[in-house]
Chains A and B, each alone.
Chain A
């Protein structure tokens, strides 16, 4: 077995999900594999990747049973490990790009794995549960296939819209978080800064909306454009729903539907090709495993991440044709999501008014007669809250500074509040103006901080580490990282003066002005 066999493939990415509990006996090894990308890779190659991973996990868990293996850095590839559920592992193999000295930030890649798993859990429940329901693994495999491939294509598409990166490649190449994304943090939400009055107005709206669910504990998430305004969910669920909303539900995501139509007209949209090929690939993969069951099954699998499936209904609620009704209804039933916090199944309703998107989840158990009950709740929301909603929208629109609202001239920054999973960064278009060198240095710096952080996490979990690093990059830019009690600040100052004093002054100014002096002790 060798990495060479992997690298010989045209793909620069391999992605697999496997279960250590399955395929324990010789000849049944294929049973371990729950997902493999690219699917057309010969089984021996797939097994070699998984075999290596499994071997390392087993080996390292002797020393560190809690956190066995995080990463393998080979000469040509990096293997990123993520234990999604007990004994269920996700591994991503990425090629090292030797030409540009580009380095992968492993934590960023792991966050991708984490995100896809969290989203999967939200819509389908845990992998282990699905395996218990169907020990053959057919259901899990088909679900994982459609989901992950949709996710990866979504990933690509999202990137296209969000970034105007010149070197973004359409076709078969995926844009994974690279050094260019070092001023971004996956798995955090970006929040809209609102004034007190608007915040109270928002909270008042939230309470009214949640009172529409009757006695059941309902939750809501409010977004303005692609920014979070309010949530009553726990942080993990907030991140999942927020991510999904930004991918598929916000006005931004919905309007991309139109633009993708025009793409389709031209007939060379990367995302569409991927979607198509992924289905085929999934089908071919499944046929290999269980030739009979796939063709009936795959049509009934809801694909929440599929493109262009959501649209705004007449009443302002978003409708989709993803989930298929049992009795062949023309309209799709309301999607159901699993919350991590309460482990409850919830109906997910989304309402949109101009730039405002409201996600509202009601416990399935509290709605007695299914769709009818849901539409009653929706009507209640319309009656009680639509006026407030437009008031809030108006207020927020008035106070919003537009795309570049959070740009601070002279600074390129990323601010993370790890306690709250909130991040704020310079707008992507501004980050794009940075020199490549600056970004590469920043990636390196962030890698260092990641290592430092994970060490602290193991040493004293209750104590946050204070950090302050300033680096002078090759192109004379200052690359700065600061961490204080759960808050992190990364910064690139390209037009800064020579002295480190100047750079630290700039940080202080920034901290006073935009972080309430959090980085100032």
Chain B
């Protein structure tokens, strides 16, 4: 725990304390250790890990990642296993037995059938299940793709379509629904297909870049050097160029593949993970990881290369691990094998997007980001906040960090322009989430302007459905799909491959990270279709149906987004800052104006409390003239709260009180206005107003007491007369009697 404790401090210097890292894996891991088992297979379609032993297959859900989870088991027939994948509805198990045949088994009935290659010349490279409407499973063969549909009636596959082309090897991720087929001598010519729920898209052919070491040598690209990653709903391909020591990136659009620049690499062995849309490039030889946030065009790393740490270890400190790792000493390695934690060991297998499979120890690690450490390692508060605002996985922590950082910049009295930028980041992020529906709490009332594009609306609605579903069913879902990215791919294509449009995908896509739900959106016909997901047979039986996409998940403490609403800004930033900042409040006022500017430019409503605080600050500094200007120009929006505060703050300043009165009148708060007028001594004006606006809630005694206290018999007489004339039955009340006597006393007194 020492590691965690030291890095969780917000201030991290350059002291190279042993615990400094930006990414870590957390103890305990998920153990997939069944006695006599052999092989671990990753089924990324269903997000499960599969192992087999004694004619049994065991499967562990890894989304959500819970180390203590028990496996489910199915018995299968004997034979060699090259790979196992469950169908997306969980009903079938497909087992590749050899290069020529794949066996299918129905999980409930146990019925099996086998699909073989037709000719001996071709061999099966692999297969994957798909949610494409055309087919259910795709075989990748050396001669091309075979698309099959499953016929449950006859319990067989029938061929739907064949795509002929030479394939050397392929890569596929279910997350992107994209299969890349390599061909050619150097295996650097690629054909891509995306098999998403709206159909199959064939990408244009493209070649990857390969630097030549010498004139004659031609390096051959291997499948382990190509990664498909999904970041902010965009699909990229990363390719390792060992000669140039670069990691080239390509971004996929429907009609184009665009090279996006390259990242330097510092190790011959490279692996890539994506955690919460942050790209982790593992420099395996150097045993460090470099983080990139490729949201913007910048290819600069988020921070310096740092080792990956194991946190939460019960016995040993991470310092020990580090030194052991460095020495690579055998005896110490043995000691560590006990802990099963050799960082960047040879047996580490990086699975998309954020898992590490230690094959020899049969354990699974999940990668985490240390947001605090990342935040503390940069001095550029604005970019750190932007980064944090894009985090969805640990939204709670990101949000708290954002709040703490914005409080700090204010308390440290940093330059106004810089604080303004900080506020802009937070406010625009909130506004964006309002538009896209990502911020549910805020969506209930605070949204003033709705986005205009129907396209966008539909997407946001879809996002809402998916996320709300996620909070309900998130616990029991095994359906790890990220079909939204796929949809985005579609969406962008249908709207003319607009880069901007695609970038908006960020916030939708990320929701699927948490709630792995399936929400196909048909952008083509612009309607939302929320399918109840077909679930595989479940062990603990807890299952909710997504079709009831109720919004009950909104009250969940688990945040889906770190955006900060204006109310939260008020209570967690401005109020604490106001309490802690002694002396001249003009700096804070300046900040608050910046906040208003930001909010008004994004058309976000600000809570009256915020204005009340501003009034208090200005009045405390006796800046009454400025306060007047603020009210007249409606910089501080009129409300009852503000009006009452003006009356209160203006106790020493008549002009300010008048502003409060005027505001009450303009807001048509008749009762408050009349009472305040009377308190100011404007009895007759107040009475005139009561009559004109038929205010009946004010007691006559209020006026009578005041008029009597004024010691002006004229006023008292006028007030009495008013009530006698306009209030039926007043002349019989005790008030009338008392004040009539008092009046006669006053008027008689000077005479006698």
Contact = CB atoms under 8 A, between A and B. Distances in A.
Indicate whether A and B interact: yes
B658 A463 contact: no
Contact of A203 (B593, B658, B666): B593
Contacts of B692: 521
Given A203-B593, A486-B658, A517-B666, A197 B417 contact: no
Given A197-B600, A197-B601, A201-B597, A234 B625 contact: yes
Contacts of A234: 625
Contact of A196 (B635, B654, B658): B635
B625 A516 contact: no
Interface stretch (A123-131, A204-212, A471-479): A204-212
A6 to B, nearest CB: 42
Interface in A188-238: 194, 196-197, 199-201, 203-204, 207-208, 210-211, 230-235, 238
Contact of B593 (A204, A384, A485): A204
Interface string A434-453: 00000000000000000000
B634 interface: yes
B718 interface: no
B685 A203 contact: no
Contacts of B600: 196-197, 200
A207 B590 contact: yes
B625 A485 contact: no
B628 interface: yes
B415 to A, nearest CB: 7
B150 interface: no
Interface string B664-688: 0110000000000000011001001
Interface string A464-501: 00100000000000000000011000000000000000
B596 A231 contact: no
B634 A199 contact: yes
Contacts of B572: none
Nearest to B688: A521
Given A463-B681, A485-B682, A521-B685, A208 B597 contact: no
A207 B423 CA distance: 15
A167 interface: no
A204 B586 CA distance: 12
Contacts of A420: 625, 628, 632, 655
Interface in A367-397: 384
A200 B625 contact: no
Interface residues of B, number: 38
A207 B593 contact: yes
Contacts of B688: 521
A66 interface: no
B623 A208 contact: no
Nearest to A215: B584
Given A234-B625, A420-B655, A521-B685, A199 B601 contact: no
B625 A235 contact: yes
A419 interface: yes
A361 B632 CA distance: 24
B198 interface: no
Interface in B628-645: 628-630, 632-635, 637
Contacts of B632: 420
Contacts of A208: 416-417, 590
Contacts of B415: 211
B625 A199 contact: no
A289 to B, nearest CB: 42
A467 B690 CA distance: 19
A518 interface: yes
Contacts of B417: 208, 384
A233 B688 CA distance: 37
Interface string B582-609: 0000110110011011001100000000
A210 B415 CA distance: 12
B689 A231 contact: no
Contact of B658 (A232, A485, A517): A485
Given A211-B590, A485-B658, A230 B629 contact: yes
A203 B630 contact: yes
Contacts of B590: 207-208, 210-211
Interface in B502-524: none
B597 A200 contact: yes
A234 to B, nearest CB: 6
A204 B594 contact: yes
A462 interface: yes
B416 A196 contact: no
Q: Which 6 A-B pairs have the closest CB atoms?
A: A199-B633, A207-B590, A419-B655, A204-B597, A196-B634, A211-B416
Given A204-B594, A211-B587, 10 more contacts: A199-B635, A200-B593, A200-B600, A200-B635, A203-B593, A208-B417, A211-B590, A232-B625, A232-B626, A521-B689
23 contacts: A196-B637, A199-B633, A199-B634, A200-B596, A200-B600, A200-B635, A201-B597, A203-B635, A204-B593, A204-B597, A207-B416, A208-B590, A211-B415, A211-B416, A211-B590, A233-B625, A420-B655, A463-B681, A485-B685, A486-B655, A518-B662, A521-B685, A521-B692
